[in-house]
Chains A and B, each alone.
Chain A
Amino acid sequence: MALQVEVDLTSSVPPYEQIRLQVLAHVSAGRLRAGDRLPTIRAMAADLGVAAGTVARAYHELETAAVITTRRRTGTVIADGATGADSSLQEAADRFVANMRAARLDDEDVLALVRGALLGHPGGEPAAPTATARA
């Protein structure tokens, strides 16, 4: 099953940031692993119908955060050190999202719930550095 990124041009979040966050989310969820190849800047820009500079900036930010790396032969790949969250945490997140889907909540409602829960538990730090933490 092919992973996708989705860009909403009407969103208040800049397109490059949407791309960055979604690649990061796929890495955190373990769907993108070290060594997985990403599309070229030109190909992703063509698919999304955005300027190549938009994708280039997202890739630059991800490369700065050591989530992706560019190799001469293989192009842009997920960096070796970029790992997702612990598998038990990923399963917990999956179960949480499944429950939210069963309750027919849309993404915004789910995110609002999570933000609310985070506000109730401020100051948490992950035990080990992950792609999410480095970003």
Chain B
Amino acid sequence: MSALPVLLLLVVGTLTAVMVVPLVLLVVLRRRPAPAPAQTAEAARRHALVVHVAAWVVGFAAGPLLVTLPIGWAVSAAGSGPYGGIGAAVYPAVLGLLFLAVHAVGEVTWPRPTGAVRRAALLRRTVADVTPPLLRRVLWSWAGVLVVTLVVCGLLADGGRQVSRTFPDGGASAGPFPGWFFGVPLLIALTAVLAATYGVLRLVAGRPAVVDTAPAWDLSLRRLSAHRVLRGAQLVVGLTAGAVLAVAGMALQNLGHGNGDAARESALLTAGGVALTLTGGAVVIAALVLAALPAPPVVTDGVEPHVGPGDAGRPPAPAAPTPSAPGPFAPAPATPGQPGDRPSASELQAR
């Protein structure tokens, strides 16, 4: 196989492990957030931070070691075969799936509500409510760039792995080129990353609310979690899109140079190749910068600890008085044996 995919593998792995991971961890850990409104809120925020740091360490620091070694072994085992290139192509997506898996575990293990008094906002939370619009658009943009590039390259490619020109007296080919040979695994990997991202965002939207905080604070913490998920997801899709553009650009440049034969040179192909390579580089840099940008802080302005309606102060968000006995509203007749007429076993455990 060509040395280029292996080179890309090393570059991407080194870039993420050496530059991005410490930078993101520095940004995340150096921030001193405003005091949380309650102990449960502080515990929830700490849980979210631990999960995020673990996701970066497992996904992008330990991940390269976990993934690079098997891929390196596969490349050496494949010898001059082309399949090592597929491993290099889907490498960022595999790291991204590791990153998202850690986030999913963190959301599934989110602290359950405790205590005798529980509160819930009468709000319908959807994935759109918790997702930061900028990063969502960026993720879809990188995905769109990647899909369009792979489809166009797939249509242009010759044999799935190279691009060719014909001349009256022969032809020339250049590769590796992201034709269908690389494009199909990449599209599958992209679908997996997008599906996993949506799944984790659904977990973020549906996780238990933090008790003793205002709904605005809880929603703000969900948006912080969603930002952290999207930060990693857009990074892997952006790196993949940038790398595909760069590889396609370099192949076109090689084809445009005509193997040193001035009669076979094509300024158009060369210029197109350079433009694609530069665009790929810009996409990679933009994805790296967006991954390192700090998330918006959890809102604290105007958010007070929840005051129960039985207290003298007015609650920040009204909850109807909790009845302790049948009052002005006639209770519906309870049917013995039906769920909900007494705290269930899981509720008692959660107290």
A residues with CB within 8 A of B = 1-18, 20-26, 29, 31-32, 37-40, 42-44, 46-51, 53-58, 61, 65, 75, 101, 104, 106-108, 110-111, 114-115, 118, 132, 135
Asked if B319 and A24 make an inter-chain contact with CB atoms under 8 angstroms apart, the answer reads: no
Cα–Cα, bound, A104→B332 (Å): 31
Asked if A104 and B125 make an inter-chain contact with CB atoms under 8 angstroms apart, the answer reads: no
Cα–Cα, bound, A45→B124 (Å): 13
Across the interface, which residues of A come within 8 angstroms of B120, CB to CB? 4-5, 7, 39, 44, 47-48
**13 additional A-B residue pairs with CB within 8 Å, beyond A14-B334, A50-B343:** A3-B319, A7-B120, A8-B324, A9-B343, A18-B323, A21-B329, A21-B331, A22-B321, A39-B125, A48-B118, A49-B347, A57-B339, A107-B310
Asked if B124 and A39 make an inter-chain contact with CB atoms under 8 angstroms apart, the answer reads: yes
The residue from A2, A25, A40, A114 contacting B215, defined by CB atoms under 8 A apart:
A2
Asked if A54 and B351 make an inter-chain contact with CB atoms under 8 angstroms apart, the answer reads: no
Can you pick out 13 interface pairs between chain A and chain B where the beta carbons lie within 8 Å of each other? A2-B122, A2-B216, A6-B309, A11-B322, A13-B331, A22-B320, A31-B318, A47-B119, A47-B209, A49-B114, A57-B341, A75-B124, A104-B312
Cα–Cα, bound, A40→B202 (Å): 13
Asked if B341 and A135 make an inter-chain contact with CB atoms under 8 angstroms apart, the answer reads: no
Closest to A135 in B: B329
> Smallest CB–CB gap between B323 and chain A, Å?
5
Cα–Cα, bound, A104→B324 (Å): 19
> Smallest CB–CB gap between B209 and chain A, Å?
4
> Smallest CB–CB gap between A54 and chain B, Å?
4
Asked if A43 and B125 make an inter-chain contact with CB atoms under 8 angstroms apart, the answer reads: yes
Cα–Cα, bound, A15→B351 (Å): 14
The 4 A-B residue pairs with the shortest CB-CB distance, nearest first, are A53-B339, A49-B113, A16-B340, A47-B120
Across the interface, which residues of B come within 8 angstroms of A108, CB to CB? 310, 324
- Count of chain B residues with Cβ under 8 Å from any Cβ of A? 57
Closest to B208 in A: A46
Asked if B122 and A38 make an inter-chain contact with CB atoms under 8 angstroms apart, the answer reads: yes
B residues with CB within 8 A of A = 112-114, 116-125, 205-209, 214-216, 308-312, 314-332, 334, 338-344, 346-347, 350-351
Contact (A111, B321) CB under 8 Å given A1-B316, A51-B344, A54-B344: yes
From B205, B323, B329, residue with most partner A Cβ within 10 Å: B323
Cα–Cα, bound, A43→B116 (Å): 19
Cα–Cα, bound, A8→B319 (Å): 12
Cα–Cα, bound, A46→B133 (Å): 25
Across the interface, which residues of A come within 8 angstroms of B326, CB to CB? 13
Contact (A101, B312) CB under 8 Å given A4-B317, A13-B326, A57-B338: yes
